[in-house]
């Protein structure tokens, strides 16, 4: 009798794979994995047309596979209490400035996209550098004990600056630099492809990746899609890119920090005419939005523009040779 109970428990623990879905054999499963569908959740949230295109299956098979995946995952409603328990797994990366930490609710959190936008020299990239180092610190020191991935679209990544900031924190500069994986993106499609490769990178790395940085998010999209005629295509691609980044954040409990450019609106006669590039699509898909602007000397002002639960406010911090610190 005890042996039978043990066998039953082992069967219950074993999770079904893609091959277990109706109509999906080993060859079809291989095609799906090559296209990025590596688990049941990716199948459950996919459209039938997408599966038909990438796996060369019939509409009926695609519908059956999606339905079966959804049944296994129990994708129904949950109580607010369940979501509160899920929020307990959220980690936060300290910025280096206590005032800035307070403004954003304790730090840059996982399972969310944190967007910082502002003019050149406002501290967007510097904050990204600081986070890439701080994420490597233990939890009790304001980090998450993990690595960072940096997608560079403007050639802004400077290893010399990383080593300088690491030394200021008493860390081994070379070891710190090795824990930041950098890739330069040259086109918007290349940028999106690099984001998709992070999925495999997270699974292959021995140490956890806890931060994804894209600096800057809109630079390549902005240069490639000029004029109103291309606006719809651009926004559609940005929407897809942002949702993929959010999926990575949710699936692997990582933080996503993106920087964004600004533009001047000539129709604004009163107040600040500066607005973030990317329109409503980017505004809606970013969890937190912070506007950075320069002040006197090395001081910077951060204004929280949007957050799911925090009030608007401002914080003053400094960007020095030692990194992001309180003013």
Q: Mean pLDDT across the chain, nearest whole number?
A: 90
- Supply the DSSP string of 253-280, one letter for each residue: T-EEEEEE-EEE-TT--SS--EEETTHH
CATH topology of domain 2-73: DNA polymerase; domain 1 (1.10.150)
β-bridge pairing 323-326 and 313-320: antiparallel
pLDDT reading at 202 higher than 80: yes
Provide the 3-class DSSP secondary structure of residue 55: helix
Where does residue 118 rank: exposed (0-12), middle (13-18), buried (19+ CB within 10 A)? Answer: buried
CATH of 90-326, one of 3.40.50.300, 1.10.630.10, 1.20.58.390, 3.90.1640.10: 3.40.50.300
| Residues recorded for the chain | 327
Spell out the residues 6+ positions from residue 164 whose beta carbon is closer than 8 angstroms to its own: 173, 321
- What global pTM score does this model have? 0.84
Give the model's pLDDT for residue 83. 87
> What would the mean pLDDT of 198-221 be, rounded to a whole number?
94
Residues of the chain with CATH 3.40.50.300: 90-326
- As a whole number of Å, the end-to-end CA separation of the chain is 68
pLDDT per position as a tens digit, 140-174: 999 999 999 999 999 999 999 999 999 999 999 99
Evaluate if residue 228 carries a pLDDT over 90: no
135-156 per-residue burial string, b: 16 or more CB within 10 A, e: under 16: bbbeeeebbbebbbbbbbbeeb
Q: Which residue has the higher pLDDT, 86 or 97?
A: 97
Q: Which residue(s) pair with 114 in the sheet?
A: 257, 288
Position of tokens 């942002």?
Answer: 242
Q: What is the pLDDT of residues 39-93, one digit of tens each?
A: 888 899 889 999 999 899 999 999 999 999 998 887 778 899 988 888 899 999 9
Q: Tell me the percentage of the chain whose pLDDT exceeds 70.
A: 93
Task: Give start-end residues of each CATH 1.10.150.20 domain in the chain.
Answer: 2-73
């Amino acid at each position: 009798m005890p042996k039978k109970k043990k066998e039953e428990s082992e069967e219950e623990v074993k999770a079904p794979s893609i091959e277990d879905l109706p109509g999906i054999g080993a060859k079809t499963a291989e095609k799906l994995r090559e296209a990025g569908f590596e688990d049941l959740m990716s199948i459950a949230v996919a459209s039938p047309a997408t599966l038909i295109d990438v796996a060369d299956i019939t509409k009926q098979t695609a519908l059956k596979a999606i339905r079966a995946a959804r049944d296994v995952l129990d994708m129904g409603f949950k109580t607010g209490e369940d979501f509160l328990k899920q929020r307990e797994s959220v980690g936060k990366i300290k910025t280096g400035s206590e005032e800035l930490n307070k403004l954003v609710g304790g730090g840059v959190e996982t399972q969310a996209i944190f967007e910082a936008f502002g003019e050149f020299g406002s501290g967007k990239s510097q904050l990204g550098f600081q986070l890439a180092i701080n994420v490597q610190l233990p939890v009790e020191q304001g980090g998450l004990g993990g690595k960072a991935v940096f997608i560079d679209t403007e050639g802004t990544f400077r290893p010399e600056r990383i080593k300088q900031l690491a030394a200021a924190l008493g860390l081994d500069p070379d070891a710190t630099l090795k824990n930041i994986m950098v890739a330069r993106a040259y086109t918007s499609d290349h940028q999106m492809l690099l984001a998709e490769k992070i999925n495999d990178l997270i699974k292959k790395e021995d140490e956890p990746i806890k931060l994804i940085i894209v600096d800057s998010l809109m630079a390549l999209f902005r240069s490639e899609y000029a004029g109103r005629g291309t606006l719809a295509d651009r926004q559609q691609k940005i929407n897809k890119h942002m949702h993929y980044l959010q999926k990575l954040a949710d699936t692997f409990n990582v933080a996503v920090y993106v920087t964004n450019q600004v533009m001047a609106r000539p129709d604004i006669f009163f107040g600040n005419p500066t607005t973030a590039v990317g329109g409503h699509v980017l505004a809606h898909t970013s969890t937190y939005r912070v506007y950075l602007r320069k002040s006197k000397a090395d001081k910077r002002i951060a204004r929280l523009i949007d957050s799911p639960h925090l009030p608007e406010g401002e914080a003053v911090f400094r960007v020095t040779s030692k990194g992001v610190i309180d003013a």
